[in-house]
Structure 1
């Protein structure tokens, strides 16, 4: 017979949490890191564990972020033997009781984690987006790139790298709010907080941004039409696609052109793979996903509970 008790986490339960992480996720390091990043965050709100007698069988951690401050992120661990005991709902109630401003709640899980998917679908959560973390092998794209450029004409348009505009104060001042606006459009369900343009400029020109592999498209009058960022990643042999976008009145194929500049840059510099983290709420990255032959990938589902 189950004897469930809920307690706040303390360091005495560290080993139990590590064991539970392994039981729940085995070699799924992304899900493990998601939970641990929240638990260890300086903006952590609370962490609870659920015990059956003295065995730790579940846990929940909740946290805030400074960049997206309007929702509460959370992650649940649940031992597979206890998935029909209603413990997920009980843990969520503790988070909501601990912080009356917790709503909206938000979490992300792999679509293959079907037990939690089923729970969220049946308990007032809404799917707000899916994210494909897919890889693009750029080795065999030369002919496709050439044919695209031949068939798509962008008159009176110049392509510049971020390094080209480092000392152009006017272009940089126009680029930063342009990128900010695109990001806000593609993140309406969980908008960023109010951050000054200096913060946005630091994000765009971050130390992991490849200035020679990130591009903007401009008119003869230096009006910005589109942009695409490229970054180094955790794997030194793999690059990562960053934010991208285009002005509303512009052919969205311009995003493909800028991405082709990036694949050519990567290939010229000896890279074979570029990873993409592509949200279904981002029409610009989706256009890239539609055009290029990315590897098959399961998606991350992001859920929100608004009330």
Structure 2
């Protein structure tokens, strides 16, 4: 016997503490039991940066291949949250999710790739650019102009799932966390306008992470890559062997520079959206 029930919060289910940790939830929960055995949960979370949508999470506790039960669970949640937009993030594609996505008119909005690429590989690919071996940039300053420009880039990659109102101090804390001021690149023109940047973040002892990227035009892209190659040599000399990335297909700047490295790379995440309209 199938029993699908709406709960006010996850605590109503009296789950084992370990299960609470793998079932993210910030609100109502839909449970599915078959013959009194818990089979699946549908929970949701909210992202304060993207307040116009909620993120769905299905958790399966046993072998599960019934997309109709998923539909019923989702319909129960929709009945309680009829004006919400829904985000579904999948690490892998599967037949059951494909049916659920199709049945409920979710649309793919973004693929995310997370490659880890050796610095040697990156240098070899960009070897046509002029490495400025004698270039030693001054330490980056995280001023309001740069923060605003980084925010504009971030906002441009999330037009389909728009940002909410984020104050400058909150955004400063987000950008400054683990930011490597010595290796990040910012280029200004003669009027002190930012025309390109590439931010680098600390990650592991032998690895850095590439963050937000921007270039105003092709000329500035070339200048940015010249300085980037120079920076790669300096990172190598300091013992860094690879860079990790989070590249969204909606991020025009990052995707343009590094999509050639994704040819044989499977996405780590595929994001879908359903609007209430």
- TM tier relative to shorter chain: 0.7 to 0.9
* Structure 1 residue 141: Cα displacement: 4.1
Count of paired positions = 271
- Structural mapping, 1:1-307, within 5 Å: 2-8=1-7, 9-10=10-11, 12-14=14-16, 17=19, 36=23, 38-39=24-25, 44-78=26-60, 81-84=63-66, 86-101=68-83, 103-149=84-130, 160=137, 163-165=139-141, 172-206=143-177, 208-233=178-203, 235-247=204-216, 251-257=220-226, 259-292=228-261, 296-307=265-276
* Structure 1 residue 17: Cα displacement: 3.9
Note closer, same or farther for the CA distance 1:73–1:259 as it changes in structure 2 (3 Å cut): farther
Note closer, same or farther for the CA distance 1:260–1:47 as it changes in structure 2 (3 Å cut): farther
Note closer, same or farther for the CA distance 1:76–1:253 as it changes in structure 2 (3 Å cut): farther
Q: Distance in 2 between matches of 1:244 and 1:223?
A: 16
Note closer, same or farther for the CA distance 1:188–1:259 as it changes in structure 2 (3 Å cut): farther
SS in 2 for 1:86: helix
Note closer, same or farther for the CA distance 1:141–1:66 as it changes in structure 2 (3 Å cut): closer
Aligned alpha-carbon RMSD (Å): 2.9
Question: Mind listing any 5+ residue stretches in structure 1 that lack a counterpart?
Answer: 19-32, 167-171
SS in 1 for 2:199: strand
Q: Distance in 2 between matches of 1:83 and 1:176?
A: 46
Q: Distance in 1 between matches of 2:38 and 2:152?
A: 45
Contact 2:113 2:262 (C-alpha < 8 Å) held by counterparts: no
* Structure 1 residue 236: Cα displacement: 4.1
Question: Mind listing any 5+ residue stretches in structure 2 that lack a counterpart?
Answer: none
Contact 1:255 1:288 (C-alpha < 8 Å) held by counterparts: no
* Structure 1 residue 91: Cα displacement: 1.6
Contact 2:91 2:270 (C-alpha < 8 Å) held by counterparts: yes
SS in 1 for 2:14: helix
TM-score by length of 2: 0.84
* Structure 1 residue 94: Cα displacement: 2.3
Note closer, same or farther for the CA distance 1:146–1:85 as it changes in structure 2 (3 Å cut): closer
* Structure 1 residue 294: Cα displacement: 8.0
* Structure 1 residue 110: Cα displacement: 2.0
* Structure 1 residue 179: Cα displacement: 1.3
TM-score by length of 1: 0.77
